[in-house]
Amino acid sequence: MRPPGARSRLTLPPGYRQNIPAMANRSWTTDALILSLSTWGEGNREALFLTPEGSLQRASVFGGAKSRLRAQVGPWQTGKLWLYTDPVKKSTKITDIDVKAWRQGIRESLVRTWCASLCVEIVSKSHGSADWRVVNAFLDGISVSDDDECRRGLIRFLWRYLLGSGLNPDTARCGRCGADADRTLGDPFRSVLFYSPHEDGFLCPDCARREERLFPLSPPALLYLDAVERLSPSETRSLPLEREPYGELRSLLFFLLSRAMGGPLKTLETGEGIL
């Protein structure tokens, strides 16, 4: 006579018991910022997204042109994702989304779109060093800002990104003679400082050589960077930034970002003239 339960044990697939924990983990949820969508196969899409922990993940988005899911998973949107991971195929798909921030205003202006594209390119290439709050706040801001506010917002975002990654050159002292900017210049913001790519630091006027490639930053430009570092985002948002210091910061920060990313940024190359 067969002992009770033997039949069911015999019909279970091998490894069934070991599979139980993995099966329990197949469905999962996370908050996510959708960075980009790429198409593969016959109209299927794959989303690249950032999580609050700073990790970059990919997941498929199935569905035809009229599917609700496909319509809701779009770049620059933040929401909660429901996902399913197939441990055998090692593939993940999005099964549902609850969009919390649509940011549709980004599509309404070329400058906004371009700023968002640059942000996404930086986050996509940053391998987890992008700060969830800083990135989301930047996208929230540009989706409702006019073009000039977007330009200033981009400067602040880029400097915050460099500060957060520890890639910001020191504006407090000369990278060559080591003199404290306070002592050398009396007032750190009363004189121009020159960023030297060779030193990866700022030089005082005495040390800056004419034959070097240098990025000058005038006192208002230095003051702006200092404010971004020391003041709250709401305090810096209202600070003015004139055309000339904006241009200096733009040149320097675009250079520093390209260097930090290990090469030219596609958005900067294709967006020439937009900012």
> Contact positions toward Zn ion, by CB under 5 A?
174, 176-177, 204, 207
- The H or E element that residue 96 is part of is strand 91-101
Helices (H) and strands (E) in the chain, counts: 11, 8
Query: How many residues are recorded in the chain?
Result: 275
Nearer Cβ to Zn ion (22/177): 177
Between 204 and 217, CB nearer to Zn ion: 204
* CA–CA distance, 259 with 165 (Å, rounded to integer): 13
In the complex, the smallest distance separating the C-beta of residue 221 from Zn ion, rounded to whole angstroms, is: 18
Closest distance to Zn ion from the beta carbon of 128 (Å): 36
CB of 226 to Zn ion, least distance (A): 19
Q: Which is nearer to Zn ion, 97 or 208 (CB)?
A: 208
Closer to Zn ion by CB, 207 or 256: give it: 207
Which CB sits closer to Zn ion, 23 or 177?
177
* Least distance CB 204 / Zn ion (angstroms): 4
**Measured from the CB atom, is 147 or 199 closer to Zn ion?**
199
Q: What's the DSSP call for residue 173?
A: B
The residue (of 174 and 265) whose beta carbon lies closer to Zn ion is: 174
Residues 6+ apart with CB under 8 A from 136: 33, 78, 101
With CA atoms as reference, report the closest residue to 206 among 221, 217, 191: 191
User: What angle do helix axes 110-125 and 132-142 make, rounded to 10 degrees?
Assistant: 170
CB of 197 to Zn ion, least distance (A): 16
- In whole angstroms, the minimum distance from the beta carbon of 200 to Zn ion comes to 15
Closest approach of Zn ion to the CB of residue 172, in Å: 12
Asked if 156 and 195 count as a contact pair (C-beta separation under 8 A), the reply is: no
> Nearest 5°: CA angle at 115, between 112 and 119?
135
What span, in angstroms and rounded, lies between the C-alpha atoms of 224 and 196? Answer: 19
Give the list of residues 6+ apart from residue 176 with CB closer than 8 angstroms, or none: 196, 199, 201, 203, 204, 207
CA distance 255 to 242: 20
